[in-house]
Chain A
Amino acid sequence: MADALFLVPLAVVLSAAALIAFLWSLADGQYDDLAGAAERVIHEDREHPLPGRSLRNDIAGQDGG
């Protein structure tokens, strides 16, 4: 019982961290173009992510399903 007293809240805090990470990646637009991301990873010529974060966010959420 004494272990559970802090281990269980710790587990909850850890999964809350995962939740926050997910919410951040969602807001960052990382799920906007899953098909494109899968292809982009193959091309080697860019060593840094594209600067256009605002562009990516703009395209977000327009897939009809």
Chain B
Amino acid sequence: MSLPLDQAPSIAERARDLAFFSHRPAGAGASRRAELVVPSMQCGACLRRVETTLSALPGVTQARVNLSTKRVIVEWRDADHPPALIETLDEIGFPAHAAELGDQHHDAELSALMRALAVAAFASSNIMLLSFAVWFGADPQTRQYFHLLSGLIALPTVLYAGQVFYRSAWSALKHGRTNMDVPISIGVTLTFALSVWETMQHGRHAYFDAAVSLLFFLLIGRTLDHMMRARARSAVAGIARLAAPCATVIAPNGSRRDIALSEVMPGMLLIVAAGQRVPVDARIVSGTSEADCSLVSGESAPVPVSTGAELQAGILNLAAPLTLQALRPSSQSFLAEMTRMMEAAESGRGLYRRIADRAAALYAPVVHAAAALTLVGWLAIGASLHQALTTAIAVLIITCPCALGLAVPMVQVVAAGRLFRKGILVKDGSSLERLREIDTVVFDKTGTLTVGVPELLWPNPENLEENSALAVAAGMASQSGHPYSRAIAAACPQPLAVRAEALSEQAGYGLEARIDGAVFRLGRPGWAAPLHAVDPQVSVALSRDDKPLASFRFRDRLRGGAADAIADLKGRGLAVELLSGDRASAVADLAGRLGLPYRAEATPADKVRRLEELKRQGRTVLMVGDGLNDAAALASANVSIAPASASDIGRTAADLIFLHESLSAIPLAHRIAVKSADLIRQNFALSLAYNAMAVPVAVAGFLTPLMAAVAMSSSSLIVVLNALRLAAPRHEEASHG
């Protein structure tokens, strides 16, 4: 009975990741550094506990927690082995895993945006103050002075804070495209140039405030948008790490040597020790062991394997050394196939066009056309070039989409914050857009609909006799920490009291107890009652003096809220189905309980094929899964959610992650995604309505700096306030249905 029922990667695996991801900081001599993610840190006490515990480890020079990002950076003196960081954190109740390398570098772009935003905020507030004096009727001398001063503040701002837009506009133009940054860049620079001209001419109207506050509002939108964009990360590297580093081959003369994976030819004999992964697809020639096939089936319960069985590359050999014969070269192995599927799925992902980009593609030409037509129109009716240009620039200012720039990111930031408080992490803003469009939800079974913890199947445990088999079994099981033991103990309200000294645990087999002179055994059926044939569905048997008393069957416990969540999703008009790598009987039982159509014994490739089939039928699919075997499906679905207990690769491949046990996170995420899509539409409508009102005024040549400032600020403000409606808790009730 040695079952690692925990779906999450083992401590050893995570510790190996740590060694993989640690690195030498530049110029720090003989020290190494690693970054760990510790999701369960919640408060100051946790922070202190983690820091002091890690600092006390031998060799550790420093540990610094970042509570906002739930990470800790640890530095230690360079040694052969990294300190037992992950093991130690596990012991004090903070499961941790190494942060991927890609995470580790500083987000330079966000810092640059923040600096530009700070400069624009400074400039626009100061210029606004000066402009107020001008709007409320300063005498010409003061007005001229204030215009000059405004120009001096605006010049460095337009040069520095506007760079983000100029660069993006330039690269778009260079490739013969246009994007929203083109009219923005033209608008800002022309507005500034016009204002300088006006100031030099001692004119009445200078638009320094418009140029600078336009940058300010747009930079807010741009910064929020950047925060909502996931940095490109790939699960492909994670899969590659499951490959054995090399293979041990047995030469015909019996000698062993390690060779590179690419040199393994079909027919070669290979040795795979316990704890190693199978290097290429192979058949067992001799040996009997247990294997962790979670990569293939998603089931982490060990599968007994023996001579003749075929093992796919990446399967972990758990118990005893195996001699294998290679069937395929490593380039055609199961793992290589998984990697290719992953790559294909991830490159397909990049094709989604975000709603803001689609809106910009429609809107940018309108802005150019409106300004150009105004210029031509005014020239046609005989206005001077100066007047025509001034009016055309006024149109550019008023059509510049600052509210439009805020419309999407503001809503997505508020929605992500709301979801975060509910224990759901959104990696990328566009995943909310994609989540809104789904019409089908596909669930994995183990680890997703179920928690991977066994539950005893036993009729009426409440009314049983005192000395019944279950009471005896529960009495014995209550003194063992094994998952099956816990399930038996949990199922019996009144266990028989068994003295601890009468009990012994036989590792790998079960428990043995002496009660009233008889020997009771609880454990593997073949060990407890060796002379009696048993049903293969029975996992644990109880025997008295080798005579079977009872047999126990288990099923995987449903994740909390699973039934309600599925009913809720169906009630929202979504098709729900089950797609599992597990045995048909287990899947059918669960599907029956939940009333779902199902497909069982699906390989990772089958899962991807099923999703593609659904896509061909015009469906938009949300995939909910956790295992290694779901990774490719998670990446190829339109949008995907994984529980926090998922494998590293599953979490990397998924778009959203829910931290709590309950599946109610999924309907909630969908509800908020739908709500935020509504708000984004409203925001578009509101900001376009503002432009529609102001544009005729600008075309007619009546626009003043004051009107531009009011239109810009109030439309941005309204868009922000509208987005904040999503944060109000009362919407949770109001938005049902």
Interface of A with B (CB < 8 Å)?
A: 1, 4-5, 8-9, 11-12, 15-16, 18-19, 22-23, 26-27, 32-36, 38-40, 42-43, 50-52, 54-65
Contact = CB atoms under 8 A, between A and B. Distances in A.
Interface string B105-120: 0110011001100110
A56 B141 CA distance: 51
A59 B73 contact: yes
B460 interface: no
B153 interface: yes
A4 B227 CA distance: 41
A10 to B, nearest CB: 12
Nearest to B152: A12
B6 interface: no
B145 A36 contact: no
Contacts of B129: 11
Nearest to B146: A8
B427 interface: yes
A15 B125 contact: yes
Nearest to B122: A19
Given A4-B145, A64-B230, A64-B427, A39 B67 contact: yes
Contact of B66 (A22, A32, A51): A32
Contacts of A52: 62, 64, 73, 75
B44 interface: yes
Contacts of A40: 44, 47
Chain B interface size range? 35 or more
Given A1-B142, A39-B47, A65 B417 contact: yes
A50 B55 CA distance: 13
A1 B67 CA distance: 52
Nearest to B125: A15
Given A19-B119, A22-B118, A60-B111, A33 B73 contact: no
Contact of B67 (A33, A43, A54, A62): A33
Interface of B: 25, 33, 35, 43-44, 47-48, 62, 64-69, 71, 73, 75, 103-104, 106-107, 110-111, 114-115, 118-119, 122, 125-126, 129-130, 141-142, 145-146, 149, 153, 224, 227-228, 230, 412-413, 416-417, 425-427, 429
Contacts of B35: 58-59
B225 to A, nearest CB: 10
Given A55-B73, A63-B68, A43 B111 contact: no
B115 A23 contact: yes
Given A40-B44, A60-B111, 4 more contacts: A36-B65, A42-B44, A64-B427, A65-B228
Contacts of B425: 64
